[in-house]
Structure 1
């Protein structure tokens, strides 16, 4: 259940990167396919689509026109991505709890990471803070998924 919570926390800064990471782990057999969420995420179209969307999110975040992550659409994306990722990392009998932990952590972390990013942005600028946040999110998601089976 800890993995569900942690993947949700990483979804607070980038909604789609943790989802793409979990999807790739599901596709490559690193997660138990007894879990229905894993079967969905393992589908080749879902895996390819989530990676493309995550790449777009990583690129778009550096643009001045990028919306804040705490706007309703950003919160909704984090809620869904954190919930689905959390469900996939939970044991089958705790699927709903994993989804709730992932979704709740993603929403809470979105506000915390937004505040931290705004503070850092004033000092170091949009692109450099975004790149650091990207690296932290990718690394965290990879770390959480590693050995999850």
Structure 2
């Protein structure tokens, strides 16, 4: 196993630190389009989970702009990041390295959740919650699309 083989898993963990559901929603979208993932998918090949991941991704993007949205570092926020990063990290890892991919993604997502929260709070002070959230959404969506595309290309 090389660390470069797990690069997409590490990167998807970084994305999950900012948006917990976006990694799974992106992978579900790619699977609905008929693309294969490098690693074995846990849950996300079941139609109910694919649609659920998409719905949770949309809900997270909308809910993040609400004044009552909790910090990403509360227990349930971190738990969502562990689950999402683990599932996505495994899916983006090479076959046979799914556990290492999950561990890489989770190990990246949790500490970075605190860093991305600090950055978001600074941005909210400077430009407001909605604008900072929209910018974060755009960055996360672009990063997620690029990471998943890289992993799919490498997995062929």
TM-score of the pair, normalised by structure 2: 0.89
1:52 equivalent in alignment to 2:61: no
1:87 equivalent in alignment to 2:90: yes
Partner of 1:8: 13
CA distance in 1, matches of 2:127, 2:111: 24
Larger mean CA deviation between 40-49 and 21-30 belongs to: 21-30
Alignment of 1:98-113 (within 5 A): 98-113=101-116
CA distance in 2, matches of 1:109, 1:26: 27
CA distance in 2, matches of 1:32, 1:22: 8
Q: Cα deviation per residue 1:45-102 (whole Å; 9 max; x = unaligned)?
A: 1111111011110000000000000001100100110011000001121111000011
Partner of 1:37: 41
Q: 1:31 offset after TM fit, Å? A: 2.2
CA distance in 2, matches of 1:144, 1:52: 21
Q: 1:26 offset after TM fit, Å? A: 2.8
Alignment of 1:56-75 (within 5 A): 56-75=59-78
Partner of 2:122: 119
Aligned CA-pair RMSD = 1.4
CA distance in 2, matches of 1:95, 1:86: 7
Partner of 2:140: 137
For structure 1, the residue ranges without an aligned partner over 5 or more in a row are none
